[in-house]
A and B are shown apart, each in its own frame.
Chain A
Amino acid sequence: MDMIQEATHVARAEAARALARAGSAGGEFLTFRLGAEEYGIDILKVQEIRSYEQPTRIANAPSFIKGVVNLRGVIVPIVDLRLKLGCTTVEYNSFTVVIVLNVRGRVVGAVVDSVSDVLALPHDSIKPAPEMNASVDTSFITGIGSESDRKLILKDIEALMSSADMGLIEPEFAH
């Protein structure tokens, strides 16, 4: 009897510990809209949120790189995530927002349709990313989070921005 009691006690302690660990692995996410979908990215990578202003065009850049803007004296490239991720409608209006990110020591701006809020998602509310067909850009999706009835596509924004085909970083520097 004693052995069983002790084993149960140990098992319960382990479970509690695992739960506590997992709870802190959820993270806080900034949620934003691209077309009909809602996305979430690690809040720690977000520097600020600005309204969209017409950037200075850079010749011969991919179409999703709109150009560069002046952010308090720093030249920041602006990437339109809607174009990169293949959204159908792309508008630039008063609701259009730029999320200024700080990834791998670089400051980059990402254009999105609108920004919602910051959510703390516990680990157990995040499900692994499903396998989808190639028509949707599924790279860098770390999981699907759910909060009330919202489904959030969680993306690794750092990896996305540093990837070679994003064209922000010269190939020899991309790691």
Chain B
Amino acid sequence: MGEMKSEVSSSGAGIDLSQFYQVFFEEAGENLDRMEQQLLEIDIGSADDEELNAIFRCAHSIKGGAATFGFSDVAELTHQMETLLDKLRRHELAPTAEMVDVLLLAGDALKAQLARHQGAGGDELDTSALLVSIRALVAGKAAPVVAKPVAATHIAKPVEAAPAPSGPRELELQVGPLEDISQAESLLDLFKEITDLGVIEPLDGGQSADGMRRFKVTTNSSDNDLLDLFTFHVSREQVKLMPLGPGYGFHPDAPGAPEQTADEVGYGFFDNAPGAPSPDEHVSVLAAPVPSETTAVATTARAAKAEKGPAALESSTLRVSVEKVDQLINLVGELVITQAMLAQNSRAVDPALYQQLVAGLADLERNTRDLQESVMSIRMIPMSIVFNRFPRMLRDLATKLGKKVELVTQGEATELDKGLVEKITDPLTHLIRNSCDHGIELPADRVAKGKPEHGTITLVASHQGGSIMIEVRDDGRGLSRPKLLQKARERGLSAPDSMTDSEVWGLIFEPGFSTADQVTDVSGRGVGMDVVKRNITEMGGTVEIDSAEGYGMRVSVRLPLTLAIMDGMSIGVGEEVYILPLSSVVESFQVGDNMIKTIGGQHRVVEVRDEYMPVVELERVFDVPRFDWEHSCAIMVVVEAENGRVALMVDELLGQQQVVVKNLEANYRKVDDVSGATIMGDGRVALILDVNSLVRRSRH
């Protein structure tokens, strides 16, 4: 960071700015993310003013901070971007796909520069080519560097706004509304006083109409310079420079008026209007759309955004370090344990004698529960954080592979624990890349099959019971059962024809498995899916695949919602206490020996209404020592995991309480059929049973 000192020394105030670096980096990071997201969402055919303004503001904020801290490379790049964005928002230039590409590349370069300044090291980034491109775009020419090979070129026809030519320009200056219209005259005088600025003449014959004055300006200078000049006398909002168009276009319907896309009728502006998107869908079109679809898609996207409008207001937030939040959660966890202990020890208290004590304890329980819910929700962040990175990634990938892919996301508001968010991103990324690479066919192939040219990848997040479900669906070619079976046999895996479809799809989780014909640098090497499955399993989740050849594929990931505190049912086996997650308990009943039947000599089942359910004897699973030899397991607890149900044979049901889940593997190792441990009211440890693995055990 040697160059830092020389640049910062210019701040003669003597304040040590380095304490503010961290905040700047974080905010710049957020601005860059926001800018990228908005650039991806922008509609080239009909860009919203507010969108363009927002993107401009992002670049502007970064520039300001960078200049203050002396990061001159960042400041310079953002300044150029700002120039281009300013023209765009003032409608002096029309947005093109090329500009979006260059701006996205510039965003990437900024990220790299900022990372370097944060201490990531590396060489100084050479942004000269990028700067040249931006300047060229600003001047209205095509950028010399073609950023990406655009495979299927259907660039939407840009709205023809006159780009600024290099020679003297003819502009229309509109001034007003002014209370004292004679102020406009002073502008005229000012302009004339400055030599070489150009020529100015009134367009309205020297008379003001509706409080406005109009002049024709012929000049070589830039808009910014002119505006700087004019704002000596009048405020910025009252001056407008426009290209000299055929009509004046001041009024919405006059010829030459800028396109008022927001007023277009009948494109789903309201919820029930034809063409309205369903409320929680958010469509971002990635590869350049076919022109005929542009307007419809543009306005539906806008309608969706309009509905989201109020929600998109800046919410006030507080930046807090994760350690503090974790510490808070730990403390609340300890509080829950203490409260449980108090509750247990006070059960023997005579409520009549100690009325207030009992009432107080009841209040305590309620307050603790509320406190705990609030604190747990602090760590929950919406899935949109995870989903946000995918549009960009998919866009780049689709372009690279020459495919057209749309990304649809649902349920972004579904909340997930922060720890899980970090861990789920890599597996999801891989699944999406897989869908794009292997699933979605090339546009020509899709059309030949009668499918729409655009492949669609859908990401859905939802809550289901105590879990969060995330699905990645595509409408591509799906998995081929014969191919998978063949590949499995080639690799020496047992793959009898009697395998069910879901077992066959599950083959792709085997290490090294890939039926891709070609290995691309994106995927195909066969190291991805098994890592995905392992990552998800480590999080305590499961992953399943469903597919229909020719139609598409769906990967479903299920993750536990909260890791730390859960409702548990304590059961007794012998002298030992075990905990079952309450959410997995279906029912419990007493059994007599005659209700248990044996199948095949070994597997025991019990009849529950019309169903025969496998029996798992916990006494045997956990090798519980018995001191009295009377067989006292008299109670069955039916539990359900996503892979089925079993009946657990236990001695007694002890109670129900909230338990704080403690990690067994921090100091010990993974124990079969046990998902964690907790501390009971008496301070002793009880093991929490892993229902999924118990169910699995009953199947083998």
Closest residue on chain A to residue B576 by CB atoms: A57
* Residues 648-687 (chain B) with a chain A CB within 8 angstroms: 662-664, 666-672, 674, 677, 679, 683-687
Can you list, as one digit per residue, whether each of A136-152 has a CB less than 8 Å from chain B (1) or not (0)? 00000000000000000
Question: In the docked arrangement, what's the CA distance between A68 and B667, Å?
Answer: 10
Closest Cβ of chain B to A99, distance in Å, is: 15
Q: Is B623 an interface residue (CB 8 A)?
A: yes
Cβ-defined contact, A58 with B687, below 8 A: yes
Q: Is A76 an interface residue (CB 8 A)?
A: yes
Question: In the docked arrangement, what's the CA distance between A55 and B687, Å?
Answer: 12
Question: In the docked arrangement, what's the CA distance between A76 and B334, Å?
Answer: 17
Stretch touching chain B among A21-29, A111-119, A167-175: A167-175
Cβ-defined contact, A106 with B667, below 8 A: yes
Give every chain B residue within 8 A of A60 (Cβ-Cβ): 622-623, 671-672
Given A68-B685, A73-B679, A59:B671 Cβ within 8 A: yes
Cβ-defined contact, B685 with A70, below 8 A: yes
Between A and B, how many residue pairs show CB distances below 8 Å?
64
Q: Is B621 an interface residue (CB 8 A)?
A: yes
Closest residue on chain A to residue B684 by CB atoms: A56
B330, B662, B672, B674 interface centre (most CB from chain A within 10 Å): B662
Give every chain B residue within 8 A of A67 (Cβ-Cβ): 685
Closest Cβ of chain A to B64, distance in Å, is: 44
Cβ-defined contact, B623 with A170, below 8 A: no
Cβ-defined contact, A59 with B623, below 8 A: yes
Closest residue on chain A to residue B682 by CB atoms: A70
A61, A68, A106, A169 interface centre (most CB from chain B within 10 Å): A68
Cβ-defined contact, A70 with B684, below 8 A: yes
Closest Cβ of chain A to B4, distance in Å, is: 35
Given A59-B623, A60-B623, A74:B667 Cβ within 8 A: yes
* Residues 9-56 (chain B) with a chain A CB within 8 angstroms: none
Give every chain A residue within 8 A of B672 (Cβ-Cβ): 60
Closest residue on chain A to residue B618 by CB atoms: A59
Closest Cβ of chain B to A109, distance in Å, is: 9
Cβ-defined contact, B666 with A106, below 8 A: yes
Closest Cβ of chain A to B672, distance in Å, is: 7
* Residues 52-103 (chain A) with a chain B CB within 8 angstroms: 55-61, 67-70, 73-77
Question: In the docked arrangement, what's the CA distance between A91 and B683, Å?
Answer: 24
Q: Is B337 an interface residue (CB 8 A)?
A: yes
Cross-chain contact of A68 among B621, B668, B683 (Cβ < 8 A): B668
Question: In the docked arrangement, what's the CA distance between A26 and B686, Å?
Answer: 42
Question: In the docked arrangement, what's the CA distance between A73 and B672, Å?
Answer: 22
Question: In the docked arrangement, what's the CA distance between A60 and B686, Å?
Answer: 16
Give every chain A residue within 8 A of B621 (Cβ-Cβ): 59
Q: Is A107 an interface residue (CB 8 A)?
A: yes
Give every chain A residue within 8 A of B685 (Cβ-Cβ): 55-56, 67-70, 75
Question: In the docked arrangement, what's the CA distance between A61 and B664, Å?
Answer: 14
Closest residue on chain B to residue A71 by CB atoms: B667
Given A60-B623, A73-B334, A168:B666 Cβ within 8 A: no
Given A77-B667, A107-B667, A56:B662 Cβ within 8 A: no
Cβ-defined contact, B669 with A75, below 8 A: no
Number of interface residues of B (CB under 8 A): 27
Give every chain B residue within 8 A of A77 (Cβ-Cβ): 667-668
* Residues 7-66 (chain A) with a chain B CB within 8 angstroms: 55-61
Give every chain A residue within 8 A of B669 (Cβ-Cβ): 167-170
Give every chain A residue within 8 A of B663 (Cβ-Cβ): 75
Cβ-defined contact, A74 with B666, below 8 A: yes
Question: In the docked arrangement, what's the CA distance between A168 and B686, Å?
Answer: 19
* Residues 618-664 (chain B) with a chain A CB within 8 angstroms: 621-624, 662-664
Question: In the docked arrangement, what's the CA distance between A168 and B668, Å?
Answer: 5
B664, B668, B669 interface centre (most CB from chain A within 10 Å): B668
Question: In the docked arrangement, what's the CA distance between A120 and B679, Å?
Answer: 38
Given A59-B622, A59-B623, A68-B668, A73:B337 Cβ within 8 A: yes
Give every chain A residue within 8 A of B670 (Cβ-Cβ): 170
Closest residue on chain B to residue A108 by CB atoms: B667
Closest Cβ of chain B to A108, distance in Å, is: 6
Given A70-B684, A70-B685, A75:B337 Cβ within 8 A: no
Question: In the docked arrangement, what's the CA distance between A77 and B337, Å?
Answer: 20
Closest Cβ of chain B to A155, distance in Å, is: 20
Closest Cβ of chain A to B524, distance in Å, is: 27
Closest Cβ of chain B to A69, distance in Å, is: 6
Closest Cβ of chain A to B596, distance in Å, is: 22
Closest Cβ of chain A to B563, distance in Å, is: 15
* Residues 121-175 (chain A) with a chain B CB within 8 angstroms: 167-170
Cβ-defined contact, B679 with A70, below 8 A: yes
Give every chain B residue within 8 A of A68 (Cβ-Cβ): 664, 668, 677, 685
Closest Cβ of chain A to B575, distance in Å, is: 9
Give every chain B residue within 8 A of A58 (Cβ-Cβ): 668, 671, 674, 687
A59, A68, A108 interface centre (most CB from chain B within 10 Å): A59
Question: In the docked arrangement, what's the CA distance between A61 and B623, Å?
Answer: 10
Closest residue on chain A to residue B683 by CB atoms: A70
Closest residue on chain A to residue B686 by CB atoms: A56
Question: In the docked arrangement, what's the CA distance between A11 and B520, Å?
Answer: 68
Closest residue on chain A to residue B679 by CB atoms: A70
Cβ-defined contact, B668 with A75, below 8 A: yes
Closest residue on chain B to residue A58 by CB atoms: B671
Closest Cβ of chain B to A168, distance in Å, is: 6
Cβ-defined contact, A76 with B667, below 8 A: yes
Give every chain B residue within 8 A of A167 (Cβ-Cβ): 669
Closest residue on chain B to residue A72 by CB atoms: B334
Give every chain B residue within 8 A of A69 (Cβ-Cβ): 685
Cβ-defined contact, B622 with A75, below 8 A: no
Give every chain A residue within 8 A of B674 (Cβ-Cβ): 58
Can you list, as one digit per residue, whether each of B583-617 has a CB less than 8 Å from chain A (1) or not (0)? 00000000000000000000000000000000000
Closest Cβ of chain A to B679, distance in Å, is: 5
B664, B685, B687 interface centre (most CB from chain A within 10 Å): B685
Give every chain B residue within 8 A of A73 (Cβ-Cβ): 330, 333-334, 337, 662, 679
Identify 17 residue pairs between A and B in the complex whose beta-carbon atoms are under 8 Å apart, listed by A's number. Answer: A56-B576, A57-B576, A58-B674, A59-B621, A59-B624, A60-B622, A68-B677, A68-B685, A73-B337, A74-B662, A74-B667, A75-B662, A75-B664, A106-B666, A106-B667, A168-B669, A170-B669
The 8 closest A-B pairs by CB, nearest first: A59-B622, A56-B685, A77-B668, A106-B667, A170-B669, A70-B679, A75-B662, A59-B623
Query: Known contacts A56-B677, A67-B685, A70-B684; can you find 13 more A-B pairs with CB under 8 A?
Result: A56-B685, A59-B621, A60-B671, A68-B668, A70-B685, A73-B330, A74-B666, A75-B662, A75-B667, A75-B679, A108-B667, A170-B669, A170-B670
